[in-house]
Structure 1
């Protein structure tokens, strides 16, 4: 189990405060590791200088590829440093994530035996290196790994062992691996999880297993505490990898594993969805119309990966299908100018290094619903407005839904709002195609036929349709009215910035 030195509170988040220096001596930035070699802590990289590399004829040395014919140096970003240690026989070993392809990494090793062993100096230098490499991110995370062998193209187990496990192991993470065996198994696992034994639940899956984990945590008697303590991460192994795209900044499994290793605890808004007598938690999106059909009516195209979403969206957009509904919303930012200002204000803030939320008590369950459920009378001040030409109703908490689908460019993980997009159905086919292309061009937000608001709650009731699709985080639910309410910062993820999605904003 990972230790937290100097910590008398077993519930304290180790990533909440910088870890204290582990040295009491003046530690130079440069560690001499041989007659012709040294390791230097630069501004943002570890710089290796080794004159022997000049004689290696480009073959590389100690796992380090030669950067140039006449260049004996190599720079490794601190972000890529996974671990470092010093042995009793004077050996210094550094493990890092080396670029293996255009969009992938793999573990590599630098190893030197010191000519003049000084264990005190070497250990202090390594501590300084790890301080630079991790900052306030928790080291040696204790990770409950859930692998869904049925999702996407059914290759999650192979992806985990080939691309993910080596990175996590090199970073000295503590791993407890379990396969999901049936639909809803993630719910059952999270309900019974020992939240004091782990720091992260990492889902090797699509977005379905994270959805199950959050709902399993939400069913506990200590739901508020469990949702706060347990960070939920996605390691992309499915056809829908939105959680990884938004918080790891990638849908590549090895790069996502590196992002989890270095990830900062980040509050995430979760939304309660009430439908009938049911209440579920949503972390991603709720949709009625084009996007819901694009997701749920293309299950037979799973073999295509994420391309199925693009094809499904285009087919329905060209068909100019409408999905009439009555909608009432609790608006917080009612126009694009206000939404843009709110986003840019948050984006201007520096990376958030401290999760300063108070830890809920052990008897705190899910928050009460301020606006009741779909079965209650319409809340005061709300008005159901007919939308008979509705082409799409799409509410989302984070930006990306698939690699090229940044539907919510102004989304913020913890602003107490979900972003609402409504596309009118009475547009020409040319405009429909331009709408699809605008998502990749990052001009979707400014289209005149796209309404964009930030809201904190809403009710939607489909009408004049016998059946259809409603998607909650990509999961199909009955085709009937539902109500949604946002809970600010109820959940926890890991992200690079501590407060933003890894997406181009507005």
Structure 2
């Protein structure tokens, strides 16, 4: 910890620096810009330090949206907190003589480099707004919280309001991927699911999924994607995280059911979780509590969902999984060395590189093929919950898959028996909210490469893929390492605490 000081804005790297007070009307050092007789702007360790006659304050570089010198005026846009979980654009402006243009532009360049770091500036955004999401509030939130921040950061915006379910699939299937850097889904998780699948339908699916970052502004009832990648379910804070987001490869899962192949980015569930979500649609007035109600009522009722299950296990054993998580957390590869980073895609990739191909071939075949070699169907007559996740948070207060990683090439599989005691069921539910589910002895947790599940002894039921209902029929899943691209705050981890 740095030594304490009466001046809260002393740069710990250079404690003797006086914040520019000795600068007068000239440049004292490269990091300080005099903007008046007794005012200056200083590039501190992690903040822009604004010294003025009235007050002194620090604006984190993360909050700096843009800066430019035009018409002899330096303008700095930044995200200013307006409430506990909301930011909005604000601006500083200072006049300059024309003689200082070159020096000011150099300082501005340094400010922007510090403010964006590994993130791309001035992203080109295809924005999709579902006006029915968030009980009809998504469009209002977009205009109030999202668009002003994107414009203040000089993002290029092409916004479309979706009119019906599935339209985002059609839009992204035909998207000019050379004209955009990201798709911004302003809705619940369902719209992001459509975006991934639209890109996945293309003849150049690999290239599209690598080049276009799929991002999410939380405007629906299910906002897991934003919680994992941006660490928030606030539309404005998520937008700021997208503006500053770092390209991150994301594992995607192929689901085959009947003759259909679907991409999943979030989760697949059969049993309690699927019913808690899909069978409580009539309780939407309860908000997020409807999931808890559905989950608790089925756990206490000892509901079981018999099935046959075959799994290709990669890591089994909770201690081994924790060690795997620690290794991956410490293995941070710079964005410029990752497949999917835009600078790599600017090279004219040839078809031989695989970027012009469609989706990767299925290593384990489809649900209609013979069971893959080495797989064994095992009956689970007392299964209560089958839940496979690709992200940690399934809701803002449900870190269901704490060891999940964006790009480790594995799916995280949880299985819970349906005949556990009522006390154990309640303890398990509380463990989800306290991030202790992973360590619960009644929870089977595995890292897997693929699985096949066949529900039985039920004429109908609920299967959820990324929160969307699919036919109640057998399906098979396998993971594709780093097939998709998203923007995250860290560039390689989810914004969720790991396994305890």
Q: Which of 429, 436, 439 is matched with 2:432 structurally?
A: 439
1:316 equivalent in structure 2: 298
Tell whether 2:399 aligns with 1:406.
Answer: yes
Tell whether 2:105 aligns with 1:112.
Answer: no
Q: 124-133 or 421-430: which moved more?
A: 421-430
Q: 450-459 or 430-439: which moved more?
A: 430-439
Q: Which of 168, 173, 178 is matched with 1:196 structurally?
A: 178
Structure 2: gaps spanning 5 or more residues: 1-26, 346-352
Tell whether 2:212 aligns with 1:219.
Answer: no
Q: 355-364 or 121-130: which moved more?
A: 355-364
Q: Distance in 1 between matches of 2:44 and 2:302?
A: 56
> How does 1:337-486 map onto structure 2 within 5 Å?
337-350=319-332, 352-354=334-336, 356-357=338-339, 360-361=353-354, 363-486=356-479
Tell whether 2:269 aligns with 1:287.
Answer: yes
2:228, 2:495 within 8 Å by CA — same for their partners in 1? yes
2:71 equivalent in structure 1: 88
SS at match of 1:130: helix
SS at match of 2:335: coil
Q: Which of 45, 48, 51 is matched with 1:49 structurally?
A: 51
2:21 equivalent in structure 1: none
Q: Distance in 2 between matches of 1:355 and 1:392?
A: 39
SS at match of 2:198: helix
Q: Which deviations, in whole Å up to 9, do the C-alpha atoms of 1:418-470 show, x marking residues without a partner?
A: 10001111211111111111111111110000010000100000111111000
1:362 to partner: Cα distance: 5.4
Q: Distance in 2 between matches of 1:134 and 1:362?
A: 28
1:96 to partner: Cα distance: 0.5
Q: Which of 230, 233, 236 is matched with 2:218 structurally?
A: 236
SS at match of 1:446: coil
Q: Which deviations, in whole Å up to 9, do the C-alpha atoms of 1:47-82 show, x marking residues without a partner?
A: 00101x1xxxxxxxxxxxxxxxxxx21011100000
2:80, 2:89 within 8 Å by CA — same for their partners in 1? yes
Q: Distance in 1 between matches of 2:360 and 2:149?
A: 37
Tell whether 2:276 aligns with 1:274.
Answer: no
2:30 equivalent in structure 1: 28
1:363 to partner: Cα distance: 3.3
SS at match of 2:486: strand
SS at match of 1:364: coil
Structure 1: gaps spanning 5 or more residues: 1-24, 54-71
1:269, 1:486 within 8 Å by CA — same for their partners in 2? yes
Q: Which deviations, in whole Å up to 9, do the C-alpha atoms of 1:393-420 show, x marking residues without a partner?
A: 0000000111111110000011111100
2:332, 2:492 within 8 Å by CA — same for their partners in 1? no
1:97 equivalent in structure 2: 79
SS at match of 2:134: coil
1:155, 1:237 within 8 Å by CA — same for their partners in 2? yes
Question: Normalization by structure 2: what TM-score?
Answer: 0.90
Q: Distance in 2 between matches of 1:26 and 1:136?
A: 28
Q: Distance in 2 between matches of 1:302 and 1:49?
A: 50
SS at match of 1:255: helix
Q: 129-138 or 348-357: which moved more?
A: 348-357
Runs of 4+ residues over 6 Å off in structure 1? none
Q: Which of 477, 491, 494 is matched with 1:498 structurally?
A: 491
1:304 to partner: Cα distance: 3.5
Q: 1:27 to 1:136 in 2, by over 3 A?
A: farther
Q: Distance in 1 between matches of 2:383 and 2:238?
A: 37
1:418, 1:455 within 8 Å by CA — same for their partners in 2? yes
1:34, 1:114 within 8 Å by CA — same for their partners in 2? no
1:56 equivalent in structure 2: none
Q: Which of 44, 57, 69 is matched with 1:74 structurally?
A: 57
1:350 to partner: Cα distance: 4.4
1:153, 1:303 within 8 Å by CA — same for their partners in 2? no
Q: Distance in 2 between matches of 1:348 and 1:486?
A: 22
1:143, 1:202 within 8 Å by CA — same for their partners in 2? yes
- Tell me how large the CA RMSD over aligned residues is: 1.5
1:352 to partner: Cα distance: 4.1
1:88 to partner: Cα distance: 2.9
1:68 equivalent in structure 2: none
Q: Which deviations, in whole Å up to 9, do the C-alpha atoms of 1:233-271 show, x marking residues without a partner?
A: 000100001110110111100000000000011000001
Q: Which deviations, in whole Å up to 9, do the C-alpha atoms of 1:171-204 show, x marking residues without a partner?
A: 0000000011111001100110000000000000
